[in-house]
Amino acid sequence: MAVREIVSIGHPVLREPAGAVPEGEITSDEIQALVDDLVETMRAAGGAGLAAPQIAVPLRVFVVEVRDNPRYPYKPHLPLRVLVNPKVRPLSEETFEVVEGCLSIPALRGRLRRHAEVELSYLDRTGERHVEQIRGLSSGTFQHEQDHLDGVLFVDRVEDPRTLTSWESFAAFQAERDGVALAAFD
């Protein structure tokens, strides 16, 4: 396992759709090492998720996990999930407003809307297929990571650029208010 460099906005890999992992290669040493590195890098950076394109690997793989995370104290805990070739499908038109940040866009947050309930369909690191429904703030985490696989960044979804803020200003002026509102939603 290794902590890899997280590429920043402007790197071309973040703007291109990632390629599917052939099912027969999921359990290969190469893909297993990639998964281990994604988990290690996400944890080292304090993220709630990390997609392979964020470490300059253009494959459809991401990981999510939310434990006691000081960057996201309002997010509910999520056990570690490894998603290979995932599909995230909205289950309704209901949305919620969230303030998101991204490890590939350091020091910036912005307001956007996410679907309130989604269906996840994916293969895990052993190649086993899973389908599950996720509701609330956690659904936004999966949508954010899925966007990375499609070459979309959260700033592309921000409707009002005046909501963009630095991490410092968010912490000083908005975090408590938004965290309470978001925690009540989940």
pLDDT digits (tens, 9 = 90+) for 72-99: 777 889 999 999 999 999 999 999 998 8
CB 180 within 8 A of CB 73: no
DSSP result, 96-162: EEEEEEETTEEEEEEEEEEESEEEEEEE-TTS-EEEEEEETHHHHHHHHHHHHHTT--HHHH-S-GG
Q: What is the pTM of this model?
A: 0.91
**What is the distance between the alpha carbons of residues 94 and 116, in angstroms, rounded to a whole number?**
6
Which residue is listed with tokens 């902590």?
A: 3
CB 96 within 8 A of CB 109: no
98 against 55, higher pLDDT: 55
182 against 29, higher pLDDT: 29
- 73 class by beta-carbon count within 10 Å (0-12 exposed, 13-18 middle, 19+ buried): exposed
In the chain, what are the helix, strand and coil shares in percent, each to the nearest 5?
35, 30, 35
Pairing of strands 105-115, 165-166: antiparallel
Lowest-pLDDT choice from 44-48, 75-79, 104-108, 166-170? 166-170
pLDDT band at 177 (very low <50, low <70, confident <90, very high): low
Measured from the Cβ of residue 127, the count of other Cβ atoms closer than 10 Å reads 14
Which residue is listed with tokens 């407003």?
A: 97
pLDDT band at 186 (very low <50, low <70, confident <90, very high): very low
pLDDT band at 147 (very low <50, low <70, confident <90, very high): very high
- 163 class by beta-carbon count within 10 Å (0-12 exposed, 13-18 middle, 19+ buried): middle
Radius of gyration of the chain (CA): 16
| DSSP H or E segment with residue 39 | helix 29-45
Query: Any idea which residues carry the catalytic annotation?
Result: 145
